[in-house]
């Protein structure tokens, strides 16, 4: 099967610091990865599309300077939450597209900003 | 814009009961439709999909038919088990300007009691 990992699974940081979350496709190459945010008891909100070799595309309302995305290779995308604040606390999920209709999800990263 | 409307939960059923979770969509063009499942403490997994009208997706006893005339993709299972307890998400994907786009429903929590 297709496996997508995320690291770390949980992170607690102080307000004002930056946090990097990694998303890796372990057994396939993904030119496209998505980053989502999931609020408690709510659905997934697509934040941005990470494209290998080019700039990420951000959804409306998502600050690109706050949520930095780097798609360094065909198996790795990173999301950096810069100058994190308590309102950034959330569950962040990545997905990797193996084909046009096959999207595989990472297990998610719980970010808590104190 | 494209959107998905999913019935609100939680849905509580006894084991071996019939399950229906409604999902309707609004979309232009030719989207693909998906059901994802999120078991407690785990990431999202693809349950089934349908990429064109009248296609039926099926997996693990679950079925859903892509109905363009009613813009629906209702999830059904004839006899649920306790192990089916999870949150179910309906989703729609489409291509816009060469980029994959996706939107999720709000999720329906299913609880199956013995």
| R_g of chain B, CA atoms, integer Å | 14
A44 with B49: Cβ contact below 8 A: no
Distance of CA B56 to the CA centre of its chain: 12
Q: Search chain B and give the residue with CA nearest A43.
A: B106
- Report the pLDDT averaged over residues B11-29: 95
Question: Encoding tokens for residue A87?
Answer: 């309102």
Q: Do B43 and A106 touch (CB under 8 A)?
A: yes
CB atoms A42 and B49 under 8 Å: no
B57-86: pLDDT as tens digits:
999 999 999 999 999 999 999 999 999 999
Restricting to B residues 21-40, those with a Cβ less than 8 Å away from any Cβ of A are 32, 34, 36
Closest residue of chain B to A102, computed from CA coordinates: B46
Is B14 an interface residue toward A (CB < 8 Å)? Answer: no
Q: Would you list the DSSP string of A46-87?
A: EEEEEETTS--EE-TT--TTTEEEEEEETTEEEEEE-S--GG
Is pLDDT of A41 > 90? no
Residue B96 pLDDT greater than 90, yes or no: no
Half-sphere exposure at residue B49, Cβ-oriented, CA atoms within 13 angstroms: 15
């Amino acid at each position: 099967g297709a496996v997508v990992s995320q690291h770390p699974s949980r992170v607690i940081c102080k307000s004002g610091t930056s946090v990097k979350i990694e998303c890796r496709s372990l057994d396939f190459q993904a030119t496209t990865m998505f980053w989502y945010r999931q609020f408690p008891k709510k659905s997934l909100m697509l934040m941005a599309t990470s494209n290998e070799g080019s700039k990420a595309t951000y959804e409306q309302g998502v600050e690109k300077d706050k949520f930095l995305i780097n798609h360094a290779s065909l198996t790795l995308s990173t999301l950096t939450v810069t100058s994190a604040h308590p309102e950034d606390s959330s569950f962040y999920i990545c997905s990797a597209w193996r084909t046009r209709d096959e999207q595989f999800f990472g297990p998610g990263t719980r970010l808590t900003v104190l | 814009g494209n959107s998905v409307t999913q019935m609100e939960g939680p849905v509580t059923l006894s084991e071996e009961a019939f399950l229906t979770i409604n999902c309707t969509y609004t979309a232009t063009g030719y989207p693909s439709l998906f059901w994802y499942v999120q078991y407690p403490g785990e990431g999202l997994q693809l349950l089934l999909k349908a990429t064109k009208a009248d296609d039926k997706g099926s997996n693990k006893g679950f079925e859903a038919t892509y109905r363009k005339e009613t813009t629906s993709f209702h999830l059904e299972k004839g006899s649920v088990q306790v192990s089916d307890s999870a949150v179910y998400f309906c989703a729609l994907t489409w291509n816009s300007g060469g980029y994959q786009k996706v939107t999720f429903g709000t999720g329906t929590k299913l609880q199956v009691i013995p």
